[in-house]
Amino acid sequence: MMRNSSKKNSKAQPAQKAGKFAALGSKRDACLLDAEEFLLPTYKRQPVIMTHGKGAYVFDSTGKKYLDFLGGIAVNALGHAHPRIVKVIRREAARAIHLSNLYHNAFQGPLARKLAEWSGLDRVFFANSGTEAVDGAMKLARLHGRNPEESAGTPAKKHRFLALENSFHGRTFGAVSVTATEKYRLPFAPVVPGVEFARLNDVSDLEAKFDSTVCAILLETVQGEGGIYPISEAFWNRARSLATQHDALLIADEIQCGLGRTGRHFAYQRFSSKPDITVVAKPLAGGLPLGAILTTEAVASRVSPGMHGTTFGGGPLACAVALEFLSVIEDENLLENVQLRGAELREGLTKLALQFDFIREIRAEGLMIGIELSVEGAPFVNEAMQRGLLMNCTHDFTLRLLPPFIITKAQVREFLNLFEIVLEKTPKQAATSDSANTEGAGRVAHAAARG
């Protein structure tokens, strides 16, 4: 009797599994249909549903496993489901998710202290996101630039912003106004007035556009969405000296490149001078929404209660997780891992560039890597996803890698093996942009070496 029962069960199992997968497929289709019908069409999403992750891997609703070299676009610096982050979230969610900025919580002050220590700056304001931090930094710049004799509500003489060509600072109205990329900015014109764009790393152009009406120069220390372009030391130093000369602020946008991504606490720490303000977000709270403005005492002294604020920014849950995130980086010596794994990736990519002549240039700072192609990059992203590898393409021709800080030597090898197959198997589409036809096709250069 037991044998017969076992046979019946074994026959039933395939049918049960088929039914289970059919149910999962039906649920997946319903989710995708809901998204298609009810979400604003702001993204070209892949037709998959990601369900969970572990370390440097994520899994979709069919159980397929992906090596995650996009990291939630630089958010998941500790990978997925890091045990210390999960532990803090569980603990604090059972205590207090939100209180109010009318009261202190146990984590906001200590987190501000830690960020001040890492950055060399003095004061912190917590926001919900990077783009809100940029908007807040712009408000601080206008506030700092206003002469006490100028009446509130009237245009200040010192009100202009300089930003850089090829820049991206966010989607809110202030941030998009200092974003040079026209497809993000022009549909919302007229945007915030008084913004002018200087050429990236062109000191002469910067000098020509900087005058006493500028309240701040805003730059990404390493341009991320623009294709991984670091600021040169000469440009940084001149921006710093001009800002000081004209009593303007130097604002470093480190939303993507800060908090360890380049192998330093902040990317600007490869220079000898500091900004007046830096803004951070993405990895700060381990995947929970949290941004921050870090600034000097001199700038902070112009602020009084009621001038700026936030409902959700700096809540107890997010700040507790952010403190743990920073502690993990220190305890696990992850800055060194970023440097080592970044060097291994650059070395491996350099070898692949010699093999595939459509790789034009490799630009890298730590684990922030751009691979510029002379052919369109989107097909490579799609091919990679089919083969279980996540990355993305920015500005049509640059493949962007933002892997977690915890990746291992073995996972670097896994990536390079997968990526070589992707480069070999992807159908090539000819470039249609001037940017893909510039001189030097086929050359490989490392931006960090160019300084």
- Let me know how long the chain is: 451
141-160 burial code (b ≥16 CB/10 A, e <16): bbbbbbeeeeeeeeebebbb
* Cβ–Cβ under 8 Å, residues 297 and 291: no
Q: What would the mean pLDDT of 86-115 be, rounded to a whole number?
A: 97
- Phi, then psi, of 274 in degrees rounded to 5: -105, 160
Looking at the predicted structure, is the pLDDT value of residue 293 above 80? yes
Position 211 pLDDT exceeds 60: yes
**pLDDT of 418 above 60:** yes
pLDDT value at position 35? 92
- For residue 382, how many other CB atoms are within 10 A of its CB? 14
Evaluate the omega torsion of the peptide bond into residue 190 and state whether it is cis, within 30 degrees of 0: yes
Burial of 403: CB neighbours in 10 Å, binned 0-12, 13-18, 19+: buried
CA gap 292, 299 in Å, rounded: 15
Q: Cβ distance 62 to 91 under 8 Å?
A: no
Question: Exposed (0-12), middle (13-18) or buried (19+): which is 103, by Cβ within 10 Å?
Answer: exposed
One DSSP character per residue, 167-206 reads: ----SSHHHHHT---HHHHGGG-S-SSSEEEEPTT-HHHH
Beta bridge partners of 249: 216
Kind and range of the H or E run holding 124: strand 123-127
For residue 150, the number of C-alpha atoms closer than 13 Å in the C-beta half-sphere is: 13
CATH fold of 16-75+334-450 = Aspartate Aminotransferase, domain 1 (3.90.1150)
85-331 classified as CATH 3.40.47.10: no
Residue 451 has a pLDDT of: 34
pLDDT given for residue 148 in this prediction: 86
444: number of CA atoms within 13 Å, CB side? 17
Nearest of 431, 388, 410, 406 to residue 65 by alpha carbon: 388
Task: Name the band, by pLDDT with cuts 50, 70 and 90, for residue 390.
Answer: very high
Q: What token pair was written down for 182? A: 């026209």
292 near 115, Cβ under 8 Å? yes
- Mean pLDDT (the chain) is 91
Which of 441, 403, 430, 439 is closest to 419 using CA atoms? 403
**Segments in 168-307 forming alpha helices (H):** 173-177, 182-185, 203-209, 233-245, 297-300
In sequence order, what are the beta bridge partners of 398? 372, 394
Domain range list for the chain: 16-75+334-450, 85-331
From the list 203, 255, 210, the residue with the least C-alpha distance to 232 is 203
Strands 368-373 and 398-401: antiparallel
The predicted-structure confidence for 40-69, as pLDDT tens digits, reads as follows 999 989 999 999 999 999 999 999 999 999
pLDDT the model gives residue 17: 46
DSSP-assigned letter for residue 427: P
The candidate with the shortest Cα–Cα distance to 280, out of 125, 161, 139, 173, is: 125
d(CA 82, CA 97) in angstroms, rounded, equals 20
Nearest C-alpha neighbor of 265 from the set 284, 293, 287, 250: 284
At 27, is the pLDDT very low, low, confident or very high (cuts 50, 70, 90)? Answer: confident
The helices-and-strands tally (H runs, E runs) of the chain is 15, 17
Distances (CA, A) of 295 to 55, 137, 173, 292: 33, 9, 22, 10
Query: By 3-state DSSP, what share of the chain in percent is helix, strand and coil, each rounded to 5?
Result: 40, 20, 40
The pLDDT, as a whole number, for residue 2 is 42
pLDDT tens digits along 131-177 = 999 999 999 999 999 998 888 888 899 999 999 999 999 999 999 99
Q: Return the SS3 of 110.
A: helix
Q: Which two tokens stand for residue 159?
A: 């009100």
For 65, what's the count of Cα atoms within 13 Å in the CB-facing half-sphere? 6
Identify whether the C-beta of residue 54 lies closer than 8 Å to the C-beta of residue 66.
no
Out of 58-62, 235-239, 433-437, least confident range: 433-437
Write the CA distances from 253 to 48, 178, 260, 294, integer angstroms: 32, 11, 14, 11
DSSP 8-class letter at 404: -
| Beta-carbon contacts of residue 204 (< 8 Å; ≥ 6 apart) | none
